[in-house]
Chains A and B, each alone.
Chain A
Amino acid sequence: MSQTALTNVILALVTTKKDSVGGSCPIFYCTDDDDLQKTSLYLEKILDAMAHEVKPGVMMMVKH
């Protein structure tokens, strides 16, 4: 089974801090930490990507 996928690319950002993110990739704004964890978990399962915490309140979805 050969699979073509974008790897090592930021697929999405999830954050509670609107001011600390920007750019061209999809950004999901969350209300609090629980919401952040939940959204990141869903995105991780949907995108088959890994959620990395860059700093408190900012998660980055990367497919490896």
Chain B
Amino acid sequence: MSEFTRIIFVGSVMGIICRMWLLRTDYRQYPTYPHGKIIHLALGVIASGLGSVLVATLLDKNYTAVTFLTLAAQQFRDVRNMERQMLTNVDELELVPRGLTYIEGIAMAFEGRNYLVIATAFFTGIATHFWHWYGGGLVGIVCIVIAVKYMAGRTIAFIGNVREGQVRFEGPNLFVDDILIYNTGLKDTQQKILKHGVGLILEPKNANATVTFSNLGQRQAILHDVATILGVYRDSGEPSLVPLSKRDLDSGRLAIFLLPLDRDVEKAKAIVRRAPVLENAYRRPLKLTGKVKPDHHL
């Protein structure tokens, strides 16, 4: 086997493994199976090919080949557009929508992962050149571990505490603990809410979390995650039954009112803790240097 063939082969294989590892379908059932997966696997193969061929061309002193990467970047930006458009269209028919912030986050992840695959294939290729195939394999595994470990985002448990809140009515007004959710006048609806509703209170750990929890996209993502896993007690044409989140303006606490089909408070709490903190919603005002920063416990 010639050296270039070895570099391209080992690099591509590690790149494809990286893409497959990052493509595991979890509870969100996204990417969809089977065609959504095929699309991303095919793009992953192209990305890993690019990364490893780049090493071979550079060793051949064919430096203009780098311009190919710009073409690749354009292609992968299209992946982001494709994901965004599809998810936005599908979201219109969800009972509890994902929300645009969540969609943007997913689209960004799909673009970013292709670059990770290129990087994995590239570094594996270089290592194969210097330390034969086993050195390449080792570097490839390290790259995959880094990609999987460090590209996993944070979860709600990292920035806030979740506890149960009492769902109750004061006249027609629905409250979770002391936070007003909405007003519904029908006795029938009120009984359904008391029977099926779950109230949770999200307490931010610091000022970073307070600002993040105020983001409507972040809040919608939490509601969507719970509805995906525990189901939702609502249907079209039932405007009075709607999971919603409201803030307590004084303390920054977030009241989450849920209507799960499986009414289990412990499960709901665990799901909210595991919900992703969206990249586009996360803010860190405490990172400011100097005196111009909010109180730690805003």
User: Which residues of A are in contact with B by a Cβ distance under 8 Å?
Assistant: 1-2, 37, 40-41, 44-45, 48-53, 59, 63-64
Contact = CB atoms under 8 A, between A and B. Distances in A.
Interface in B172-231: 172, 183-189
Given A1-B92, A53-B171, A59 B185 contact: yes
A41 B92 contact: no
B244 to A, nearest CB: 10
A52 B240 CA distance: 9
Contact of B185 (A45, A52, A64): A52
18 contacts: A1-B92, A1-B93, A2-B92, A37-B186, A48-B236, A48-B239, A49-B239, A50-B184, A50-B240, A51-B185, A51-B186, A51-B189, A51-B240, A52-B184, A52-B185, A53-B183, A59-B185, A63-B239
Interface string B71-113: 0000000000000000000001100000000000000000000
B185 A40 contact: yes
B153 interface: no
B239 A41 contact: no
B34 interface: no
Given A48-B237, A49-B239, A41 B188 contact: yes
A1 B236 CA distance: 14
Nearest 8 CB-CB pairs, A to B? Answer: A53-B185, A53-B172, A50-B239, A51-B185, A52-B183, A48-B237, A59-B185, A51-B186
Nearest to A40: B186
Query: Taking chain B's interface residues, is the majority helix, strand, or loop, or is none over half, making it mixed?
Result: loop
Contact of A51 (B171, B184, B237): B184
Query: Taking chain A's interface residues, is the majority helix, strand, or loop, or is none over half, making it mixed?
Result: mixed
Contacts of B171: 53
A53 B186 CA distance: 8
Interface string B126-158: 000000000000000000000000000000000
Contacts of A37: 186-188
Nearest to B187: A37
Given A50-B239, A64-B239, A44 B186 contact: yes
A58 to B, nearest CB: 9
Contacts of B189: 51
A48 B128 CA distance: 64
Contacts of A53: 171-172, 183-185
A43 to B, nearest CB: 10
Contacts of B183: 52-53
Contacts of A52: 172, 183-185
Nearest to A46: B237
Of B92, B93, B186, the most chain A CB neighbours within 10 A belong to B186
Contacts of B172: 52-53
A41 B186 contact: yes
Given A48-B237, A49-B239, A52-B172, 18 more contacts: A1-B93, A2-B92, A40-B185, A41-B186, A44-B186, A44-B239, A44-B240, A48-B236, A50-B239, A51-B184, A51-B185, A51-B186, A51-B189, A52-B184, A53-B172, A53-B183, A53-B184, A59-B185
